[in-house]
Amino acid sequence: MDFKVQAKDRKSSARAGEMVTDHGEIQTPIFMPVGTAGSVKAVQQRELHNDIEAQIILGNTYHLFMRPGMEVIEKAGGLHKFNGWDKPILTDSGGYQVYSLAENRKITEEGVTFRSHIDGSKHTFSPEFAIDVQRTIGADIVMAFDECTPFPCDYDYAEKSMKMTHRWLDRCCTRFDETEGKYGFDQTFFPIVQGSTYKDLRKQSAEAISSFDREGNAIGGLSVGEPAEMMYEMTDLVCGILPQDKPRYLMGVGTPANILECIALGVDMFDCVMPTRNARNGMLFTSEGIINIKNEKWRTDFSPIDENLGGYVDTNYSKAYLRHLIMSKEILGAQISSIHNLAFYLWLVKEARQHIVAGDFAEWKNIMVKKVSARL
């Protein structure tokens, strides 16, 4: 994988860059729609291409391992072939879902033993196994197997956990480097900074992770319930340590305002279930602010969802129609709102990129953060 920083903002740490993978280029900063079980919920693959202009999507290793399982994915020739998405894919390591979804989980130095939330079957994920699974899935970007600590987390646990994550990273790197992609294209590997909300631990972790000198680096363990200011502080600190010439991926973040603020701190890649999950509940992110489409005030508002966005979904459907679909629990409501929210997130990072290149990002960001956070 290649990465080049193409422009830097003068008044913030924001940068515009380009990653090149065997499945195509990614213009950063970028938001990556989450395709949990091999599908971005309620969105067709051609809609990801044409309406949303997604450049890379996520797959969740835990979900894909459970269903359809590695035998099916491998026989298909990898996830790209299986789900018909031909652009880049990043997979998480499965760790986060093991902690949040699985039952009876037990963490040891070797790895994590747990029972599936679907059928109760017993499994062990180790650093080596998480790499093997991601080799089989065929992700363009493979993530380290780490422990994502909750918030709040006491210092001793956070430190112990971080150190284990670093030892696990060693094992991940070894396994990744002694294996090869299965489907004829290159895969790259990103380690993950941990350390909870403790500055000294974050510093230690960022330095340790940097020393591995991989092609990109991620920041994990944030956006898990801590105040936004704390998340910004940790992100700022870590971005100051991670190498300038490599992409930085802030995992699981966040609201449109979070994304703009973290772009300003030097983050290049984001993912979050918020745009799709909230869409299904009728919460729309727009260029003018946040809409709860269930509110009575939209009942006879026949204007487009977001006039600044354009595109089929915004041109063909009105707020009143979308409200009716969401109120009536029609599947089409989830489809329209998911496409809209993701299109908005991709529009937002594209706008951010243009302002970084144009040199007025910081000013624009301050105005936009207020705008996109307002409740309409």
Contact between 300 and a copy of itself by CB under 8 A: the answer reads: yes
Q: Which two tokens stand for residue 70?
A: 């590695």
257 HSE (CA, 13 A, CB side): 16
Active-site hit among 92, 140, 146, 314:
92
Note if the bond before 88 is cis, omega within 30 degrees. Answer: no
Contact between 160 and a copy of itself by CB under 8 A: the answer reads: no
The smaller minimum CB distance to a copy of itself, of residues 75 and 370, is found at 75
Contact between 121 and a copy of itself by CB under 8 A: the answer reads: no
Active site residue 245: no
Contact between 230 and a copy of itself by CB under 8 A: the answer reads: no
The smaller minimum CB distance to a copy of itself, of residues 27 and 44, is found at 44
Contact segment (CB under 8 A) with a copy of itself among 20-28, 34-42, 170-178, 222-230 equals 34-42
The smaller minimum CB distance to a copy of itself, of residues 48 and 224, is found at 48
Distance of closest approach, residue 324 Cβ to a copy of itself, in angstroms: 4
Contact between 309 and a copy of itself by CB under 8 A: the answer reads: no
Contact between 38 and a copy of itself by CB under 8 A: the answer reads: yes
Query: Where in 319-338 is the site for a copy of itself (CB under 8 A)?
Result: 320-321, 323-325, 327-328, 330-336
Contact between 84 and a copy of itself by CB under 8 A: the answer reads: yes
Q: Tell me the DSSP string of 271-337.
A: E-SHHHHHHHTTEEEETTEEEETTSGGGTT--SBS-TTT-HHHHHH-BHHHHHHHHHTT-HHHHHHH
Which residues are CB-contacts of 57 (< 8 A; sequence separation ≥ 6)?
32, 33, 34, 35, 40, 48, 85, 87, 88, 89, 90
Note if the bond before 29 is cis, omega within 30 degrees. Answer: yes
Active site residue 301: no
Number of chain residues interacting with a copy of itself (CB under 8 A): 42
Note the helical H segments in the chain.
45-47, 61-66, 70-76, 79-83, 95-100, 127-137, 155-177, 199-211, 228-241, 256-264, 274-280, 311-316, 319-327, 331-358, 361-373
Q: Which residues bind a copy of itself (CB under 8 A)?
A: 37-46, 63, 67-68, 71-72, 75-76, 81-84, 299-300, 302, 312, 316-318, 320-321, 323-325, 327-328, 330-336
Catalytic annotation, residues:
92, 271
